[in-house]
């Protein structure tokens, strides 16, 4: 129920709620049009004025708008892929109504819950937490209902990596997916009018899960969010976002493409969507092993089209977000938040804030946010969440050259438009780095953000030393070592006013013996023909840097019955070998299977009996359970044990599996492996 009349009724209802409950944010819905005009007259190129009342209203509206869009899009998530949705507008909440009724208010989803986690982190650690602090919160609070780049980032955290390596394209196989667009709006909401700061901070936060052009749509959104506190024109906002992107970036070309499509088909959104999908929906060189429907670039293109064809109307924009398809609830949530900032609470149709009428709920979504997705994430009042976000925004404003003043009896923020974000000096954590002797090695321990350079940062070794042939240069270690052994080195990074140290372990091992094996062992069979698929486990291609793809991963035969029989992988040699180390990489674990729930390492003794090795140590640990949300892809696991002399070595474990989300698909158990190398030491 949109329109002017509905907005007047909404304003009346909300004012009544303020008087009745005295719980709303003070001054949240104050009409400050004349005062805002006076404030704008005092603005300059470098400063911007925003009343506290307006800021609080816009923050509240942004949070409401994100939830509206999330619930509006959820029933249509991935429903429209090959074709756009029908023009049966308005779509309405659909099946989300049942859940809103069940929880008697709003409920958490991955389009809002991580931002709530980030709010708690800002309150606990400060407005810019360290990566390591955020990673600790992720590991505690995110245990299920996590997908794509977010899931892989979580798995890497549990494998002793810290951001930004958890989003790096050499470690996170899904670095190009949609995830940063879901979870980072809060950094711009707390940086009103501070466009550079908002974009740079969003880039920094997005590296927790993504890399390269995979973070660019989120950066574009951040610029629009930050600018929307003073700019209301949709086309201007899109261009502000475009200006904030890397000039040679992939998404800048996408935005321009979408603008041209809108100009070409101003009255035919379906044709624009079809031409957009023809160009951006699919598997390309960068994403051959992943589901393209959750691609960051593709869904970012959908958002720009929805914004253009919505032209600032909230209801129309929600319907366009859904009709564009793919991961529709993300676009609807992000654009709902953006339009909330632009127009405040009164811009959101009453029918979307009160889907059961305002007699059943006295406040939007009954002023309840119920956690159903994350560990130890407390239920909250929506109004209180908005107030707390605004409190963090005030801290950001003042800490970055702004101020709070009293002007004609009202509290006003003077905002430094030219503020820029300075990321904490923090060297990434990593598990022991597996290196094979006489093989090229490279490790980037301090990846740069889009706006960063090495001009103001220096790195040096303060403890330990690198092996001969390996060098520290700028933000990376690289080289070829001709010497085996364990080398620990502590690197110090220094920028103006900040210093940080991190210790890295270089685990350099003798040459891989697997290519010399007489046979590859898998379950009860030995394979000797080089064209057998199982031979890919010794081809030396184990990581994303090596170009590993899903086709380089071997999957055991699916088992339908529980308990599943053990899967084994190993080698038989013609003569006895001294062995103390294996390198296991599972490759591309599947969505619902492809991992072990137990693991043994065994060798063949002199009596030709299989025996467990002693003093087994696996680093980083394997996730030996059936929680699919914690299983990682393409992660090296260093397997060490007491040396043995043997003609055969193998790993053995029970394969895992879970019931797919599609009830028509059957649960199966299987394991996955891309590489198993063997080393004397």
pLDDT tens-place string over residues 390-416:
999 999 999 999 999 999 999 999 999
> So what's the pLDDT on residue 19?
33
Angle between helices 250-264 and 234-244 (to 10 degrees): 160
Q: Are residues 163 and 245 in the same domain?
A: yes
Q: Are residues 392 and 464 in the same domain?
A: no
Q: Are residues 521 and 630 in the same domain?
A: yes
Asked if the model's pLDDT at residue 78 lies above 60, the reply is yes
Helix (H, G, I), strand (E, B), or coil: what is residue 484?
Answer: coil
Residue 21: count other Cβ atoms within 10 Å of its Cβ.
12
Residue 124: count other Cβ atoms within 10 Å of its Cβ.
10
Q: Would you say 299 and 178 are in contact if contact means Cβ atoms under 8 Å apart?
A: yes
What is the rounded distance in angstroms from the CA atom of residue 353 to the CA atom of residue 603? 65
Q: Would you say 519 and 526 are in contact if contact means Cβ atoms under 8 Å apart?
A: yes
Is 650 a domain residue? yes
Please report which confidence band the pLDDT of residue 622 belongs to, taking 50, 70 and 90 as the band edges: very high
For every residue of 523-589, DSSP letters joined together read: TTEEE--TTSGGGGGGSS--SGGGT--GGG-EEPPPB-SSSPPPEEEEEEEEEEEEEEEEEEE--S-
For the CA atoms of 504, 505, 507, 508, the dihedral, rounded to the nearest 10 degrees, stands at 60
What is the rounded distance in angstroms from the CA atom of residue 562 to the CA atom of residue 273? 46
Q: What is the mean pLDDT of the chain?
A: 94
Is 421 a domain residue? no
What is the length of the chain?
681
What is the rounded distance in angstroms from the CA atom of residue 652 to the CA atom of residue 635? 18
What are the tens digits of pLDDT across the range 574-614? 999 999 999 999 999 999 999 999 999 999 999 999 999 99
Residue 144 is part of which domain span? 3-416
Is 423 a domain residue? no
Region 85-98 average pLDDT: 98
As given in the structure block, the two tokens for residue 194 are 């501070």
Q: Are residues 268 and 397 in the same domain?
A: yes
Region 463-484 average pLDDT: 97
Region 260-272 average pLDDT: 99
Region 74-82 average pLDDT: 98
Residue 665: count other Cβ atoms within 10 Å of its Cβ.
10
Return the H-helix or E-strand segment holding 252: helix 250-264
Residue 109 among known ligand-binding residues = no
What is the rounded distance in angstroms from the CA atom of residue 465 to the CA atom of residue 474? 16
Q: Are residues 616 and 648 in the same domain?
A: yes
Helix (H, G, I), strand (E, B), or coil: what is residue 606?
Answer: coil
As given in the structure block, the two tokens for residue 303 are 């958002």
Asked if the model's pLDDT at residue 633 lies above 60, the reply is yes
What is the rounded distance in angstroms from the CA atom of residue 334 to the CA atom of residue 180? 11
> So what's the pLDDT on residue 358?
84
Q: Are residues 460 and 574 in the same domain?
A: no
Q: Are residues 477 and 534 in the same domain?
A: no
- In percent, the amount of the chain with pLDDT more than 90 equals 91
Angle between helices 328-343 and 314-324 (to 10 degrees): 160
Of 480, 509, 538, the residue that ends a domain is 509
Q: Give the C-alpha distances (Å, rounded to integers) separating 509 from 23, 434, 520, 643.
A: 64, 8, 21, 13
For residue 536, the domain's CATH number is: 2.60.120.260
Please report which confidence band the pLDDT of residue 310 belongs to, taking 50, 70 and 90 as the band edges: very high
Is 427 a domain residue? no
What are the tens digits of pLDDT across the range 483-515? 999 999 999 999 999 999 999 999 999 999 999
Q: Are residues 100 and 193 in the same domain?
A: yes
Of 509, 540, 555, the residue that ends a domain is 509
Asked if the model's pLDDT at residue 13 lies above 50, the reply is no
Asked if the model's pLDDT at residue 349 lies above 70, the reply is yes
Is 667 a domain residue? yes
Please report which confidence band the pLDDT of residue 542 belongs to, taking 50, 70 and 90 as the band edges: confident
Is 424 a domain residue? no
The answer, as to whether pTM is greater than 0.75, is yes
Of 478, 509, 540, the residue that ends a domain is 509
Q: Are residues 502 and 525 in the same domain?
A: no
Q: Are residues 440 and 312 in the same domain?
A: no
- In percent, the amount of the chain with pLDDT more than 70 equals 94
The count of domains in the chain is 3
What HEC string does 264-309 produce?
HCCCCHHHHHHHHHHHHCCCCCCCCCCCHHHEHHHHHHHHHHHHHH
Q: Are residues 412 and 288 in the same domain?
A: yes
Is 422 a domain residue? no
Q: Would you say 258 and 308 are in contact if contact means Cβ atoms under 8 Å apart?
A: yes
Sign of the Cα pseudo-torsion (192, 194, 196, 197, in order): negative
Q: Are residues 120 and 254 in the same domain?
A: yes
For residue 503, the domain's CATH number is: 2.60.40.10
Q: Which residue has the tokens 């103006």?
A: 496
Residue 327 among known ligand-binding residues = yes
């Amino acid at each position: 129920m949109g329109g002017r009349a509905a907005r007047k009724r909404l304003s009346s209802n909300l004012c009544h709620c303020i008087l009745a409950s005295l719980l709303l944010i003070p001054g949240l819905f104050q009409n400050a049009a004349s005062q805002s005009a006076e404030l704008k007259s005092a603005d300059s190129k470098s400063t911007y004025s925003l009343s506290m009342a307006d800021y609080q209203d816009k923050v509240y509206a942004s949070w409401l708008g994100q939830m509206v869009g999330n619930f509006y899009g959820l029933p249509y998530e991935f429903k429209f892929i090959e074709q756009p949705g029908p023009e049966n507008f308005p779509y309405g909440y659909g099946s989300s109504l049942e859940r809103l009724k069940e929880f008697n208010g709003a409920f958490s989803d991955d389009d809002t819950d991580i931002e709530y986690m980030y709010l708690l982190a800002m309150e606990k650690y400060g407005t810019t937490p360290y990566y390591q602090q955020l990673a600790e919160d992720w590991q505690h609070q995110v245990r299920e209902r996590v997908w794509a780049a977010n899931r892989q980032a979580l798995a890497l955290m549990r494998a002793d990596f810290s951001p930004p390596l958890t989003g790096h394209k050499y470690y996170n196989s899904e670095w190009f997916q949609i995830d940063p667009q879901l979870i980072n709006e809060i950094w711009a909401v707390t940086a009103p009018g501070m466009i550079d700061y908002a974009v740079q901070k969003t880039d920094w936060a997005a590296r927790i899960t993504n890399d390269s052009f995979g973070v660019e749509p989120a950066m574009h959104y951040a610029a629009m969010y930050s600018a929307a506190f003073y700019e209301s024109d949709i086309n201007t906002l899109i261009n502000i976002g475009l200006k904030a992107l890397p000039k040679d970036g992939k998404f800048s070309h996408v935005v321009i493409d979408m603008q041209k499509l809108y100009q070409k088909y101003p009255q035919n959104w379906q044709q624009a969507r079809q031409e957009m999908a023809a160009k951006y929906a699919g598997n390309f060189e960068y994403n051959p092993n992943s589901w393209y429907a959750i691609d960051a670039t593709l869904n970012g293109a959908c958002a720009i089209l929805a914004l253009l064809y919505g032209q600032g109307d909230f209801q129309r924009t929600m319907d366009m977000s859904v009709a564009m398809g793919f991961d529709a609830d993300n676009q609807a949530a992000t654009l709902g938040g953006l339009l909330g900032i632009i127009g405040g609470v009164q811009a959101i149709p009453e029918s979307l804030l009160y889907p059961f009428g305002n007699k059943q709920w006295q406040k939007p979504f009954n002023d309840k946010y119920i956690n159903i997705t994350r560990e130890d994430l407390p239920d909250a009042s929506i109004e209180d969440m908005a107030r707390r976000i605004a409190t963090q925004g005030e801290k950001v404003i003042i800490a970055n050259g702004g101020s709070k003043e009293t002007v004609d009896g009202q509290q006003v923020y003077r905002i430094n438009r030219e503020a820029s974000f300075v990321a904490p000096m923090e060297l990434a954590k990593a598990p022991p780095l597996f290196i094979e002797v006489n093989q090229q090695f490279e490790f980037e321990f301090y990846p740069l953000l889009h706006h960063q350079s090495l001009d103001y940062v220096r790195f040096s070794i303060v403890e330990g030393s690198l092996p001969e042939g390996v060098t520290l240069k700028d933000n990376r270690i690289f080289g070829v070592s001709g010497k085996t052994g364990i080398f620990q080195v502590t690197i110090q990074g220094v920028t103006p006013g900040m210093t940080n140290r991190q210790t890295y372990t270089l685990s350099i091992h003798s040459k891989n013996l697997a290519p010399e094996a007489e046979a590859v062992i898998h379950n009860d069979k030995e394979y000797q023909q080089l064209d057998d698929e199982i031979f890919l486990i010794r081809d030396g291609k184990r990581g994303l840097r090596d170009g590993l793809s899903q086709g380089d991963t071997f999957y055991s035969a699916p088992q339908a019955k529980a308990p599943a029989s053990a899967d084994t992988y190993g080698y038989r040699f013609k003569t006895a070998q001294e062995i103390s180390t294996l390198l296991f990489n599972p490759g591309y674990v599947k969505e619902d299977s492809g991992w072990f729930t137990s693991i043994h390492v065994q060798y063949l003794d002199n009596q030709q009996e299989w025996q467990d090795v002693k003093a087994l140590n696996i680093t980083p640990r394997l996730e030996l359970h059936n929680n699919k949300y914690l299983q990682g892809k393409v992660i090296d696991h260093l397997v060490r044990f007491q040396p043995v002399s043997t003609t055969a070595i193998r790993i053995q474990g029970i394969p895992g599996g879970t019931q797919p989300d599609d009830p028509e698909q059957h649960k199966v158990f299987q394991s996955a492996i891309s590489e198993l190398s063997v080393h004397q030491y």
